[in-house]
């Protein structure tokens, strides 16, 4: 059996990997949604937004 924490960790890794494939440098995620099945958690759904932020941002004076 896999703990809820591990399911969330796996979902976070999947989200980061998918964002990286898109060229993202940062990810903002929503709260994980735990699925239920016969009294146990069986899935985690995690949504987020991937951002590609430049290394340095020019500042205006």
Query: Which pLDDT score is estimated for 36?
Result: 75
- Per-residue pLDDT reduced to its tens digit, 3-61: 888 999 999 999 999 999 999 999 999 999 988 766 666 789 999 999 998 875 566 65
Average confidence score pLDDT of the chain: 86
Strands 26-29 and 40-45: unpaired
- Per-residue pLDDT reduced to its tens digit, 16-29: 999 999 999 999 99
Model's pTM, two decimal places? Answer: 0.75
The residue ranges of every structural domain in the chain are 4-51
In terms of C-beta density within 10 A (0-12 exposed, 13-18 middle, 19 or more buried), how is residue 16 classed?
middle
State what percent of residues in the chain have pLDDT above 90: 57
Among candidate residues 57, 51, 3, 7, the one with its CA nearest the CA of residue 29: 51
């Amino acid at each position: 059996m896999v703990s809820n924490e591990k399911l969330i960790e796996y979902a976070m890794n999947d989200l980061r990997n998918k964002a990286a494939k898109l060229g993202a440098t940062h990810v903002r995620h929503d709260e994980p949604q735990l699925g239920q099945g016969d009294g146990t958690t069986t899935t985690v759904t995690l949504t987020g937004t991937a951002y590609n932020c430049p290394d340095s941002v020019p500042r205006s004076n």
